Structure 1
């Protein structure tokens, strides 16, 4: 034993003295691998590659976009070949990204990876894929600064992410409803954005109204930008989304799934009454109601019922939604159009005065807009303004 040197002694004790090899991968390669491992975990859980489609979960769609980006990187094919047992990179796009032209941050944005360590493996972490153009567009909107009171907003973002995962909220493409109101949530450039404050109305150079916003982002920053600037940024961002309001409850199914029950139909009627006031404003006088059965059955005896102005009616519009709470929806319509409720009293068949409640002096296109906002979950706080004949934020 005394004649052994240190290495021989360690070897006799069974200790491996072979020097550990340091990793030869660059930080960029490590990030590419980490981004692909998220996709592999999805494949292991679901037995398939993530796919595109509005009917897919938002996080699956994000992984699908990330996979498309990886397929465009020649470097990724060589680097990930040993990991790609399912062969998800095989259908590579003919459009190849210029990898050498990308810096570290741009590459991360291309892959939807926000940190080198990727400490959070859960798919509920919001990571959108952004192109370099999208990054520049976001930077043009407004400078983001640290949010000094972010602790006030952190619980809100945590709750929203839970609601997205559970389906209480939905992420809808921005554009169908371009309104931006106090308390709205959006996804912009991969970050949750919360409209915390809406300032006083101002006139834009083109004469249209605008307002200064305080927008808080889930990464702890904020920006003070104009509403129209935020709208433009959301339009430019292909992954820009509006989050629906959970306060709408089960009322606003955007599509009917096989397991859903069609529980309600919104109907809009126009009266054929010869009452002078109704005749004069026939194109504006509409009855808005909700029924769980056929509208034709509901109005079969309209000429005998005071609620239908003791006259025949014509159906001018119907909207079928899944999972509707009919009473809640009718009350909501009455609130939105309260300022335009028809002030008309007629006598029923027995000579008793009756004031129908579900008739409103509202153009049909405004009712259609209201239903669209209902479906998107963006009707909160809106009301009809008779003077401008449009829906506005209720003050």
Structure 2
């Protein structure tokens, strides 16, 4: 009975699960201490990642070590009994029971050996000693980030990419393969944009797989000298990990596509055959600019019956095939750029109701071509149309 408590108090506290008996300090062997310390490492992993450690060559070396260690603990009854009081995540009740093996082979040297990781032959009794060996192996897996001293050079790139994401010139897509990691590519990992500023020579690691050293800049002003496979693993582990498409990948405006391109539609430029006085006076300047996901021929069918085409037939002046881009965002962007030159015209539809079309502009064709080129090279968001000079001018600031 605990000092200061009656028999009745002890019984009540026991029902509540409160430890009331003052126990002598248990004396554990170094092996038992090591097993408990190893299990606590596994618990910290679950605390951080919300799941038990898993097997797999694509996993971090420590996660693989924890997964093997957990299997061994589950397999050995004396180990299960030893760590059961610490099992707050109920890890011992998960996973299949394995065939029993030597109960004396639970040290991390043995576990690392099962993973094919070389360790010193001398017996190690403390986990921290094994960790120092593993850390040497893991040094090339994940590099620490440090302050990017020349971040001012990269900051405008991140700002440009964000603008292009906002306007639809770039999109985010799930990360799929290591081949996507190239110099000049952007990714989203850990909630931050990452830019591959440099990529070193291709090397072959100890497992016979190709790899390369990268210089990766993050939009928070830090950088990391990590391996390509480290970035690949980080992107694969991150449920929100994405790659950011290249605005010129595809190409955006071409009659040919490459593997992985996704057709988005067509930018079209039309000239009206209307006999409306405002149109006839400015025939060479009045253009309709739009984006469609169907053939232009189908889009303009029955143009003379539609007020959006000024209730008249039209002539197709130019088309640009569109890949890997958001159609509606791009169309809105083009219309905002040419807003100062929007044609203010009112047309009566077939029922005599007034309609004001919004996609016609007083813009020379060469300026539209210039705009397309700036969409191609990703600089279009920095320009607006000056109707007095009849040219695209860079926005100051």
Name the TM-score, length of structure 1 as normaliser.
0.40
Larger radius of gyration: 2
For normalisation by structure 2, the TM-score amounts to: 0.40
